[in-house]
Amino acid sequence: MRSKSFLRCSWLMSAAAVVALSLSARAQLSTVQQQEWLNSPAATSHIGNITGNAKAAAPVYRRYCVGCHGELGDGNGEVAQWLQPPMYPKPRDFQLGIFKCRSTPTGTLPTDQDLFDTIARGLDRSSMPIWNTFTKDERADLVAWIKHFSPRWQNEKAGTPIQIPPEPEITPERVKAGQEVFGRVQCWKCHGVQGMANGPSASTLTDDLGAPIWPYNFTDGSRPKCGNTDRDLYKIFMTGLDGTPMPSFVDNIKPDEAWDLVFYLRTLQPHNAFNAKERQIAKQLGLKPVSPQ
Amino acid sequence: MISSRRSLAGSLLLVLVLGCFQNAHALPAFARKYGLRCSACHESWPMLNYFGQKFKDNGYQLMNDRDAPIWQNPSYWPVTFRITPIWHRVSDARVSEDVVPGSAVSGTVERRVESSGFDLSGLDFHTGGTLEKNFSFYVLPSSDSTATFHFETVMGRLDNLFGSSWLNVKFGKFELDNLLSEKRILTLTTNGGIYQTYHFMPVGDNNIFGQIGDNQLGIEYMGHSADDRTRISAALLSSSDGNVGLVTGANSYTGFFTGSQAFDAGKLGVERIGFYAMVGEAATFYKTSGGVPIPGSGIGNKGFSRVGFVGQFYFGPHFDLQVVTQHGSDNVYFGQGFGNATDPNDGTPANDLPNNTPGTVLPATARAPSWNGATFEAHYVYSPQLIFIGRFELERMSQQALTTNPSNLGNITSYTIGYRYNPFMTSRAGFAWHNEYNFMHQDLTSFYGNNVNSSELLIGFDFDF
């Protein structure tokens, strides 16, 4: 079992890395630089066999996105002032180049596919709608457009997606092991021992910009922000949600243990399309909440 | 010519003045709730785009777990007002006119009547949204320009029953599930402000119940895929054309069915094709008391149908073409003026007795009228703030109600062009500088059986807040 001090240290290092990145990224692109970027061959995205073109996204961005994310992509659209965290998170500041939903390690840029998926999925419990009405080409264009706001995309490449081993068969032992991981890495400190977002740290959390933020409540039926499949859950705690207090646990949880944790987290959720087996096993085991130690 | 130039100069001046407006102090209900600009849901307000259609199909919800009123500021009040002050010039050809004004015995002559002036639309109070997650509503008291109100929409909806987007049930008075919705039409003139295809009635026909452009009373099942690519609906309606009080005849119902499928066409956009079918029965006779129809006593139900194809074709982010076709047919009784008895003293001879009296014998030349129609509406969206509109409609009789009628009697050809310019685009209010021209031609419908051409030029402020 890892020590609390190690975990604290890991959190601090992640936070420091993100803050450092955000400070460097804050060196905004000038309008001229943005235009140069838009005219360069790099102003593209690649999702499967689709190539997105940043310039083609301009009318789409201005119709659908600019109200929140702003003309400059700084998250200061006209309605940003009305979005009050933690009930409504502030719109993403694309100039920072920091994104919650990634398949890549913490501190790295997301892949084009990550951004492409986020647009279609939306972000539950925020003002970001589910934009699955766009064509794939439009979404790919938007991904390229989003990238032109931050100098990070000029200086860095996207991170390498983490390796996710095949999902094993769920067993009662795995669910119990997942509960042990839940206690060991102290998920309960924020998410609460029953996953109700009422852990001792829950009320103190802020994001990197200092805005209050709530941990995810597993029990209220809402969807996790970065997807609700088992692989999505796996990615969330192994990559962390950059810009938020949710760190990457890739150094604390082995890949096999990560699947155990996914199975246990499913038992905390109310009945949905993904967790029938997990809930049945939890019932058979008579699982009690972890002890906050 | 001079007045036209003045109109043009005035229009340009107003565009320049409006270009300076940046502040609005009012709050359209949905945009304010979600912080989205009008353009997110509207191709040009009030016409929905694909995302807006999905939002509506979800029960005015984004499905982001922030749809319930509990997540709104307690002062939030989901109300939007809409009204349109206008100037318009109307020109009607071949109006039957006394040869000597004021003399009913001087004979009549057909002349053109032109009028112009400042005017006003009615006022709409839109209020809608969610009562709780997956419980939505819409109430729309609407007035005519003299402030006489009626309920245009009153409906509650159960959304996503059992967690499925395929199970939604609406109850009350509501807009039919038309992809090209007349309630969200972009044009405002008398003849161009409606879709002729949605309201066409053959000459002499008195079936008011098949007007798919009108809101109707009933219950509607609607289902759609999560991304709204596939949509289906089926509604059971009272055959009353939305009139309350069951005055047009009890125990007659109409079904309205729609289905559509959208396709990802890459750079072109999302294309959609579908169909609609309205099949119903309505009363043709009324029991009488003292010779006057007894409200709600309709009997002698006869059938009618309206079926057609719908297409929404996009050619990139700036240009689209919307198409609706229709084949309509009415029972022979409707063709002879039977049907509506909502107001037998409304001055319309077709509504008066004895047409709706049981036992009336039809002329030997009577036939069931049928017709075909089509609406083509093109949009060039220069930006979310400026849209150009062009519409062409044609309605052609296939079979007249009487064999003695000329085959083209009542045919309609209508052209509408216009543009709407929104000097600002925010989530707070909608404001459009609206210019429009409509020309409509009807075959042989004047008093003396001549063709009738009508036109209207309209300039106005269309705003909601």
| CATH number of the domain within which B347 lies | 2.40.160.10
**C-alpha separations of A159 from A99, A109, A258 in Å:** 12, 5, 20
B228 with A133: Cβ contact below 8 A:
yes
- Distance (Å) from the C-alpha of residue A9 to the closest C-alpha of chain B? 34
Rounded-to-integer distance, Cα B415 and Cα B391, Å: 6
Residue with tokens 């029991």: B287
Residue with tokens 């270009």: B19
**C-alpha separations of B290 from B287, B296, B453 in Å:** 10, 16, 41
Rounded-to-integer distance, Cα A45 and Cα A58, Å: 14
Do A132 and A47 lie in a common domain? Answer: yes
Do A55 and A170 lie in a common domain? Answer: no
Residue B37 confidence class, pLDDT cut points 50, 70, 90: confident
Instruction: Read off the tokens for B449.
Output: 């059986």
Residue that wins the pLDDT comparison between A23 and B451: B451
Of A100, A65, A88, A82, give the one whose Cα is nearest residue A224.
A100
Do A125 and A188 lie in a common domain? Answer: no
Core vs surface per residue A125-134: b (16+ CB within 10 A) or e: bbbbbbbbbb
Residues composing chain B: 465
Lowest-pLDDT range of B63-67, B299-303, B345-349, B400-404: B345-349
Is A12 part of a structural domain of the chain?
Answer: no
Looking at residue B349, what DSSP letter applies? G
Residue B233: predicted pLDDT: 98
Q: For A133, which of B34, B51, B383 is closest by C-beta distance?
A: B51
Lowest-pLDDT range of A148-152, B64-68, B431-435: B64-68
| CATH number of the domain within which A235 lies | 1.10.760.10
Q: Which of residues 133-172 of A touch B (CB under 8 A)?
A: 133-138
Q: Tell me the longest C-alpha to C-alpha distance in chain A.
A: 63
Do A204 and A83 lie in a common domain? Answer: no
Q: Which pLDDT tens digit goes with each residue over A36-80?
A: 777 877 789 999 999 999 999 999 999 999 999 999 999 999 888
DSSP output for B290-307: TTEEEEEEEE--EEEEEE
Mean pLDDT of B355-377: 89
Do A207 and A118 lie in a common domain? Answer: no
B66 touches chain A (CB under 8 A): yes
Mean pLDDT of B363-377: 96
Of B223, B285, B225, give the one whose Cα is nearest residue B257.
B223
Residue B345: predicted pLDDT: 52
- Distance (Å) from the C-alpha of residue B160 to the closest C-alpha of chain A? 14
Domain hosting residue A214, numbered range: 164-285
B35 with A56: Cβ contact below 8 A:
no
pLDDT for B253 beyond 50: yes
Q: Which of A121, A155, A189 is the last residue of a domain?
A: A155
CB < 8 Å to A135, chain B: 264-267, 269-270
Do A104 and A149 lie in a common domain? Answer: yes
Please give the backbone phi and psi of residue B39, each rounded to the nearest 5 degrees, phi first. -65, -15
B264 with A135: Cβ contact below 8 A:
yes
B71 touches chain A (CB under 8 A): yes
Do A177 and A108 lie in a common domain? Answer: no
Please give the backbone phi and psi of residue B17, each rounded to the nearest 5 degrees, phi first. -65, -45
Do A140 and A82 lie in a common domain? Answer: yes
Mean pLDDT of B177-196: 94
Q: Which of A134, A155, A176 is the last residue of a domain?
A: A155
Q: For B36, which of A59, A67, A123 is closest by C-beta distance?
A: A67
Torsion, Cα B71 B72 B78 B80, to 10 degrees, reads -130
Residue A21: predicted pLDDT: 44
Rounded-to-integer distance, Cα B28 and Cα B82, Å: 9
Is A20 part of a structural domain of the chain?
Answer: no
A59 with B318: Cβ contact below 8 A:
yes
Residue B243: predicted pLDDT: 86
Do A224 and A149 lie in a common domain? Answer: no
CB < 8 Å to B269, chain A: 135, 138
pLDDT for B83 beyond 60: yes
pLDDT for B6 beyond 60: no
Do A215 and A277 lie in a common domain? Answer: yes
Do A193 and A236 lie in a common domain? Answer: yes
Residue percentage of chain A with pLDDT more than 90? 68
| CATH number of the domain within which A64 lies | 1.10.760
| Chain A, nearest residue to B227 by Cα | A132
Number of structural domains (chain A) is: 2
B40 touches chain A (CB under 8 A): yes
Tell me if the bond preceding B46 is cis, omega within 30° of 0.
yes
Mean pLDDT of A14-31: 51
Residue B287: predicted pLDDT: 81
Is A265 part of a structural domain of the chain?
Answer: yes
| Chain B, nearest residue to A66 by Cα | B37
A133 with B50: Cβ contact below 8 A:
yes
Number of structural domains (chain B) is: 1
CB < 8 Å to B54, chain A: 133
Domain hosting residue B191, numbered range: 2-464
What 3-state class would DSSP assign to B436? strand
B63 touches chain A (CB under 8 A): yes
Rounded-to-integer distance, Cα B138 and Cα B125, Å: 10
Q: Which uninterrupted H or E stretch holds A191? A: helix A188-191
What 3-state class would DSSP assign to B6? helix
